[in-house]
Amino acid sequence: MAAVDLTTHPGHLARRLQQAHYLLWNTMVSEEITSPQFAVLNTLVAEPGLDQRTVGERVGLDRSTIAEVISRLGRRGLLDKVRDPQDGRRFLLRLTDDGLRTHKKLTVRTARMNQVFLAPLSAEEQTLFFDLIRRVADAAEGLRNPGEPLVAQP
Amino acid sequence: MAAVDLTTHPGHLARRLQQAHYLLWNTMVSEEITSPQFAVLNTLVAEPGLDQRTVGERVGLDRSTIAEVISRLGRRGLLDKVRDPQDGRRFLLRLTDDGLRTHKKLTVRTARMNQVFLAPLSAEEQTLFFDLIRRVADAAEGLRNPGEPLVAQP
DNA sequence: CAGAAATAATCAGTGCCCTGACTAATTGAG
DNA sequence: CTCAATTAGTCAGGGCACTGATTATTTCTG
């Protein structure tokens, strides 16, 4: 008694959605490279030479997690880490040729996978799907970062 | 060049949504009990005496993961595992008084959290949010399980 | 310029999530 | 009734995700 209906709990739904995506990714895209790893490759294609922390920020991974992901990609020879000569704390990241090739290959497969994944929704529903999730996620993130006010107060 | 916009990738969005939920849960609901753990407690409130595998099925966790979650809840004294006298492979699970108390307390906080989490959406949008995510997740799960046909063919 | 504050990265620890291989118990077919 | 197939659970291994503590470097302030 007093049990709750989990299908109306956004957290439970979010988890199921992510699991479903994970499984489809494994069968349709790659068993080697994961979706977060692809996100990192993609960021470095757009902005080569970024440092680790910034890449993490772009793809939404904290400093610990991004370190692990980068380390795996480095071990697989998909990217290079070079100490920043301007700032000895940073490492600058850059894809290798193999990394670029891998990104290209996975981009095609990812597009196919996304189509299959979203097939149950009409085009308008897909737009709505993105919009609703983005708004909820953005708002929740904003709750943590007290938010940059329009005018910086000292 | 040739980089892709991640904000139109459902997998990336799903991951961000789940992370956002995780963080809010930690601040508004509990730092001890996680959302999947609560889902297990909730299932056992509704159906005491269920076996481990079935609980996993109800909350969407595979046999390995559910084993870990159950083991943690057991260590915390929130549930009891008893060997099924009818079937020596199974363990029957039941919440302790402490488990019931914890579930009750978290149910209230979870409801509050869900309100905050979904606050950026109107009531109609919230309904849509659930519906769209559920349809996508269900369809993707159905792709793995070849599906129970309406008439069983031998 | 020296010491304090901030920043980039690492490490230890906890928990979720999956696969594939394995053990123990039950069920089913010959 | 016996042996094979199925089923519940465990274990090893890899990866994602967070917090809190630590180290090294840079920057800011007095």
User: Residue B143 has what pLDDT?
Assistant: 74
User: Residue B26 has what pLDDT?
Assistant: 94
* Residue A68: CB less than 7 A from any atom in strand C: no
pLDDT at A147 over 70: no
User: Residue A2 has what pLDDT?
Assistant: 81
Tell whether A87 is within 8 A of chain B (Cβ). no
User: Residue B1 has what pLDDT?
Assistant: 58
| pLDDT tens-digit profile, chain B (154 residues) | 589 999 999 999 999 999 999 999 999 999 999 999 999 999 999 999 999 999 999 999 999 999 999 999 999 999 999 999 999 999 999 999 999 999 999 999 999 999 999 999 999 999 999 999 999 999 998 876 554 443 333 3
| Closest to B17 (Cα-Cα) out of A129, A53, A5, A100 | A129
pLDDT at A85 over 50: yes
Q: Cβ contacts (< 8 Å) between A23 and chain B: which residues?
A: 140-141, 144
Other CB atoms within 10 A of residue A75 CB: 9
pLDDT at A80 over 60: yes
Helix (H) or strand (E) holding A56: helix A52-59
Q: What DSSP state is assigned to residue B34?
A: -
Q: CA of B150 to nearest chain A CA: how many angstroms apart?
A: 20
**What value does the mean pLDDT take over residues A81-108?**
95
User: Residue A146 has what pLDDT?
Assistant: 52
pLDDT tens per residue across span A33-68? 999 999 999 999 999 999 999 999 999 999 999 999
Q: What DSSP state is assigned to residue B61?
A: -
Q: Tell me the C-alpha distance between B76 and A70, whole Å.
A: 35
pLDDT band per the 50, 70, 90 thresholds, residue A18: very high
Q: Tell me the DSSP string of A61-97.
A: --HHHHHHHHHHHHHTTSEEEEE-SS-TT-EEEEE-H
Number of H helices, E strands in chain B: 6, 2
Whether residue B110 and residue A19 make contact (CB cut-off 8 A), yes or no, is: no
pLDDT at A21 over 70: yes
Mean pLDDT of chain A: 91
pLDDT at A148 over 60: no
pLDDT at A151 over 50: no
Contacts 24+ apart (CB under 8 A), B103-111: B103/A2, B103/B38, B103/B41, B103/B42, B103/B45, B104/A2, B106/B29, B106/B30, B106/B33, B106/B38, B106/B41, B107/A2, B107/A4, B107/B42, B109/B28, B109/B29, B109/B30, B110/A4, B110/A9, B110/B29, B110/B38
Helix (H) or strand (E) holding A124: helix A123-144
User: Residue B144 has what pLDDT?
Assistant: 67
User: Residue A87 has what pLDDT?
Assistant: 93
Tell whether B142 is within 8 A of chain A (Cβ). no
Contact B51, A24 (CB under 8 A): no
Q: Tell me the C-alpha distance between A21 and A27, whole Å.
A: 10
User: Residue B150 has what pLDDT?
Assistant: 34
User: Residue B142 has what pLDDT?
Assistant: 80
pLDDT at A81 over 80: yes
**What value does the mean pLDDT take over residues A126-142?**
94
Q: Tell me the C-alpha distance between A109 and A107, whole Å.
A: 6
User: Residue A133 has what pLDDT?
Assistant: 97
* Residue A141: CB less than 7 A from any atom in strand D: no
